[in-house]
Amino acid sequence: GAVVSQHPSRVICKSGTSVKIECRSLDFQATTMFWYRQFPKQSLMLMATSNEGSKATYEQGVEKDKFLINHASLTLSTLTVTSAHPEDSSFYICSARDNGGVREQFFGPGTRLTVL
């Protein structure tokens, strides 16, 4: 099946710093990618929909200036958590939708962010 990678898998940073997470579709093109956030023992919450070549669409309550999304190519989307604070510590998961006929959504392995 199609593979989506995320980098880094884990990151620990100091409060106030910015962290960039990459999401790549390795063997398919993805016009649309999605970013989810998951707190411990909770479900995945959709943060934003990332569209190649255009601005991301953010879900209600998600600060677009806090969570910067760039989808510069058909295989790469990045999420930057700006001025991170301890409450931003979470598991961030991306997914990519295959542009092909199936239009299935494939998930990355997630990035564990810990803000000290």
Partner 1 sequence: SQQGEEDPQALSIQEGENATMNCSYKTSINNLQWYRQNSGRGLVHLILIRSNEREKHSGRLRVTLDTSKKSSSLLITASRAADTASYFCATHGNKLVFGAGTILRVKS
Is the preceding peptide bond at 40 cis, omega within 30 degrees of 0?
no
Among 14, 41, 53, 86, binds partner 1 (CB under 8 A): 41
CB atoms under 10 Å from CB of 73, counted, come to: 13
Nearer to partner 1, 16 or 27 (CB): 27
Among 43, 65, 86, 87, binds partner 1 (CB under 8 A): 43
Residue 46 binds partner 1 (CB under 8 A): yes
**Cα gap 92→101, rounded to integer Å:** 27
The secondary structure of residue 87, as a DSSP letter, is G
Among 34, 35, 58, 67, binds partner 1 (CB under 8 A): 34
Binding mask 50-89 for partner 1 (x = CB under 8 A): ----------------------------------------
Residues comprising the chain, all counted: 116
Let me know: does 4 contact 26? Beta carbons within 8 Å.
yes
